[in-house]
Amino acid sequence: MRIESASDWAWETDAALRFTRVGSAIAGLAPEALCAHERLRKSRTRFHDLLVEHRLADGRRRIAALSGEPAFGTGGEFLGYRGSGRDVTERVITEWALRESEERYRSLVELSPDAVLIWQDERLVFANRAAAALLGADSPAALAGRNLWQVVAPQFHERVRERLAQLSEPGRTLPRLEQVYVRLDGDAVEVESSATAFSYLGRPAVLTLARDIAERKRTERHIRSLYAELEARVEERTRQLRATVAELESFSYSISHDLRAPLRAIDGFARILLAEHAAGLAPDARRLLERVSGNALTMGRLIDGLLEFSRLARKDLAAAPVDMAALARAAIEEARSAGAPDTEFRLAPLPGASGDPLLLRQVWVNLLGNAAKFSARARSPLVEAGGAAGESENVYFVRDNGAGFDMAWSGKLFGVFQRLHDDAEFGGTGVGLAIVKRIVERHGGRVWAQSAPGAGATFWFALPAPRT
Amino acid sequence: MKPDLEIEVLLVEDNPNDAELTLRALRSSVPRERLAHVDDGVKALEILFGDRGLAARTGASMPRMILLDLKLPKVDGLEVLRRVKTDDRTRAIPVVVLTSSKEERDINESYRLGVNSYLVKPVGFDEYVAAVADAGRYWMALNQPPLAKLAG
């Protein structure tokens, strides 16, 4: 019989195993707590650390461990049990928690979709169901004792050996590795594995997590091949497109050339008639010949415009810092001497640009020339140009106080041969603004305009801000 | 063309309209019989380098100017230009390309081969006449040709 310590207490039961005396600490123990223990009633032998649940007066659940031995009367009759008890609540709860935690981990491992493999001395000592499935075994047990070097494909032996060497200390974890395992049937399977060193059943072990990535690899390869196919297709289309564009350009170029020759003949022979046979021609015949030759010249100018426009598409774009203010000043001089001597030009500071100086010069020449042309009939013609630097783009404008146009037609403004005024009012071929648009857009910029009839017009263009 | 007469201008032009306009433009400065017109590159090379061509005849003098179109049947203008400018007997003849091509390739190749002048045919007859007449005046009247006969 144990000696009662501070935490131990003594107890006694009657022959029916009902408690007749219990220590003070066990106040809540039901008198019938032991009655249910059939074995004790029958065997009447000593027992040790029998766990009994009870509640304290305040309702807290406690667990006691009772040890006892049977007591017999002088006539040998069974009197009941006597013994000692201890409160073991904390220890038992800790044990339960531990067991539950172990079970939780076990089911985690068992249910894990990833293969879990534990190796000791390069042999498999544990595998879960996913590992069995991965390696093509009927059950984890079928894998027991399998050699690491049978599982890892030969081409990865060296890599895995290196990794194992890094796992000498417990707790070390290796980064993920894409490698190949060999299934029981000899087939290869692509896996992504990670490994960590730990202690298993008291001995150093390596825990490996492996995931079947065959599907992912297939998808990756599929995506890669789709991508390559797409690339090839885009390349092919681009090539076709380039060829088509080049064909179109050379077509329009040669057409333009071939059209010029007969025009020259029309104008030429009309003028020869006028110059050398004037005497034999009635005044009306001379007037009509003048018109023949005038129309030939107009068509010649249209073709020249078309040629210039088509040349722009083929010209390689230079990329240099461009002093826009200098270009605008030169273009103003050009516009002034081209027939706008009375026009007042005002030039505000212009931010610099990056691009093809010759082409950007053409933008200023066309816009300022346009502005001068359409404001020439104003009472005091005024053309202004300015600009502002922005974060992503620099914006420039050319404004005039001339004829303006109805915004309803603004969509036609930048098209080739689109004109909003007839020839008698303002001459021109209708390619100037189309050229501006093409140049600006080839620089990655945009053009737009704002106007009202009689209220002048403002043309804007924006270019990507030069990288500093 | 009369072979016994001296040729002052050789016009190589396949378009009959342009040829007629050119001849008219030169009418005031070059007598018609001193003006040879051929309509392809082969004939041009024959006049210059053929068996009975100018270069083969002793005492025959070379044209004082060649007006050369580029787009020609058979042998094109650039090839004629190359032959003229690589032969010592013809190298000094001023060659004026008269074409409707503003193609960078044509312009640059002509200069590379040593063209003396490159004129783009204007559409307007007045400008055309002026351009051809100016070229004729410049190369045949103003320009000082080499004095010694180039070694043949």
All residues of chain A having their beta carbon less than 8 Å from the beta carbon of residue B100 are 257, 260-261
Residue B115 contacts by C-beta under 8 Å, 6 or more apart in sequence? Answer: B81, B85, B95, B96, B97
The position carrying tokens 């050229």 is A435
All residues of chain B having their beta carbon less than 8 Å from the beta carbon of residue A303 are 123
pLDDT tens profile A400-450? 998 888 887 777 778 766 666 655 555 566 778 888 998 999 999 999 998
d(CA B110, CA B115): 6
Tell me the three state secondary structure of residue A379.
coil
pLDDT at A3: 42
pLDDT above 60 for A222 = yes
Q: Is A258 in contact with B17 (CB distance < 8 Å)?
A: no
pLDDT tens profile B96-151? 999 988 888 899 999 999 999 999 998 888 899 999 999 999 998 899 888 765 54
Contact A267 B123 (CB under 8 A): yes
d(CA A64, CA A86): 5
- Nearest by CB to residue A264, choosing from B18, B24, B102, is B18
The tokens of B2 are what?
């009369």
B126 touches chain A (CB under 8 A): yes
Dihedral angle computed from the Cα positions of residues B135, B140, B141 and B145, in that order, rounded to the nearest 10 degrees:
120
- Interface test mutation site (partner A, options B18, B104, B123, B127, max chain A beta carbons within 10 A): B123
The pairing of strands A457-464 and B35-38 is: unpaired
Selection from B60, B57, B66 nearest residue B38 by Cα: B66
**Mean pLDDT in residue range A223-243:** 92
Q: What is the DSSP letter of A155?
A: G
Percent of chain A with pLDDT over 70: 92
Selection from B14, B15, B17 nearest residue B44 by Cα: B14
All residues of chain A having their beta carbon less than 8 Å from the beta carbon of residue B15 are 261
- Nearest by CB to residue A267, choosing from B20, B102, B124, is B124
Contact B125 A268 (CB under 8 A): yes
Query: For residue A158, which phi and psi values (nearest 5 degrees)?
Result: -65, -45
- Bridge partners, residue A189, by sequence: A181
Contact B123 A303 (CB under 8 A): yes
List A residues 249-268 in contact with B (Cβ-Cβ < 8 A). 253, 257, 260-265, 267-268
Query: For residue A168, which phi and psi values (nearest 5 degrees)?
Result: -65, -35
B53 touches chain A (CB under 8 A): no
Contact B125 A272 (CB under 8 A): yes
pLDDT tens profile A249-293? 777 777 777 788 888 899 999 999 998 898 888 999 999 999 999
pLDDT tens profile A148-174? 999 999 999 999 999 888 887 777 888
Instruction: Name the H helices within A116-156.
Output: 129-135, 148-151
Contact B122 A257 (CB under 8 A): no
CA distance A270 to chain B (A): 9
pLDDT tens profile B13-68? 999 999 999 998 888 888 888 899 999 999 999 999 888 888 777 777 889 999 99
Selection from A125, B130, B86 nearest residue B95 by Cα: B86
Selection from A60, A55, A65 nearest residue A11 by Cα: A65
How crowded is residue A322: how many other Cβ atoms within 10 Å of its Cβ?
A: 22
d(CA B140, CA B113): 21
Side by side, the strands of the sheet bearing A123-127 are A123-127, A115-120, A203-212, A188-200, A173-182
Contact A272 B24 (CB under 8 A): yes
Chain mean pLDDT for chain A: 85
